[in-house]
Homo-oligomer: A and B are copies of this chain.
Amino acid sequence: MTSPSQSAGTAAPASAGPVDPALIEDLVAASRILAAEGILDGYGHVSVRHPSHPERYLMSRSLAPALVSASDILELDLDSNPVDGRGRTLFRERFIHGTIYRARPDVQAVVHSHSPTVIPFGITDVPLKPTFHMAAFLYAGVPVYEIREESGFTNMLVDDNARGRALAATLGDKPVALMRGHGNVVVGPTLPHAVFRAIYTEVNARQQTVAMAIAQGGPVKYLAPEEGDIITNKKPGDIGRAWQLWKSKVMGPP
């Protein structure tokens, strides 16, 4: 899951310029929040698109998410080449992020995780569906990326742009895609939004597991598509309230 920081024989891409330290701080916070909330463990990563230049994004060097600091953040192009690698090891699956930024102009942040209660939904025929309003963003469906379709038997990693494009194609216009036998990818229009979605996808998975267990074959009343659409697209909730809490827990009070 790590690779040297320079593609053989390619000049490094140019930087899109400095980024507001507040955004770097939020990216560091996002990484630590996702670890603290049990979405990421030693593995997984979060990135944010460069605010001034859509063809660059920011991500940590290869490091456990809980340990990320501002000095670990690098800038990459959408082919996931680093601007200034300095020999630092990169995440092998950074291609998940670059290909999604290319495919999805609406997306400003991407999370890749092995979120534990979500993984079972990617290896069964059970579709992940919203149990409650906080996970309404799941309403339009959660596609499953099956890596064998394009790549046959592999090491299960999206560790090049071809696989990244296949995953982005599966994701389509959705906020979440599961990766069979691996984990999931979650996207959002802002960094706090992507973090919120990553956390509430896991919460939803836990609730759906319990609902299916107690229903014992009986009906489970998931959110109606109309409800999901209203909440997600017309009357969104307040992400900031949770972001403030999560950030204060990992970064200390402002």
Q: Give me the interface of A with B, judged by CB distance under 8 Å.
A: 1-2, 41-43, 62-64, 66-67, 92, 114, 116-117, 119-121, 123-126, 130-134, 136, 148, 153-157, 180-183, 203, 206-224, 226-227, 230-231, 234-235, 237-238, 241-246, 248
In the complex, which residue of chain B has the Cβ closest to the Cβ of A67? Answer: B245
Establish whether residues B1 and A124, one from each chain, have CB atoms under 8 Å apart when the complex forms.
no
CB within 8 A of A203: which of B116, B157, B234? B116
Q: Hey, which chain B residues are within 8 Å of A41, CB to CB?
A: 242, 245
Q: Hey, which chain B residues are within 8 Å of A153, CB to CB?
A: 224, 226-227, 230
Establish whether residues B120 and A67, one from each chain, have CB atoms under 8 Å apart when the complex forms.
no
Establish whether residues B211 and A212, one from each chain, have CB atoms under 8 Å apart when the complex forms.
no
Establish whether residues A242 and B42, one from each chain, have CB atoms under 8 Å apart when the complex forms.
yes
Establish whether residues B42 and A215, one from each chain, have CB atoms under 8 Å apart when the complex forms.
no
Number of copies: 4
Since A42-B244, A119-B131 are in contact, a sample of 8 more A-B pairs with Cβ atoms closer than 8 Å, ordered by chain A residue number, is A43-B242, A63-B241, A120-B210, A123-B211, A124-B221, A126-B215, A156-B223, A156-B231
Establish whether residues B2 and A126, one from each chain, have CB atoms under 8 Å apart when the complex forms.
no
CB A220 to nearest CB in B, in angstroms, measures: 6
**Bound complex: CA A120 to CA B223 (Å):** 12
- Closest 7 pairs (CB-CB, A-B): A42-B242, A64-B245, A120-B211, A153-B226, A133-B156, A155-B235, A120-B210
Establish whether residues A116 and B230, one from each chain, have CB atoms under 8 Å apart when the complex forms.
no
In the complex, which residue of chain B has the Cβ closest to the Cβ of A134? Answer: B114
Q: Hey, which chain B residues are within 8 Å of A133, CB to CB?
A: 155-157, 181-182
In the complex, which residue of chain B has the Cβ closest to the Cβ of A243? Answer: B42
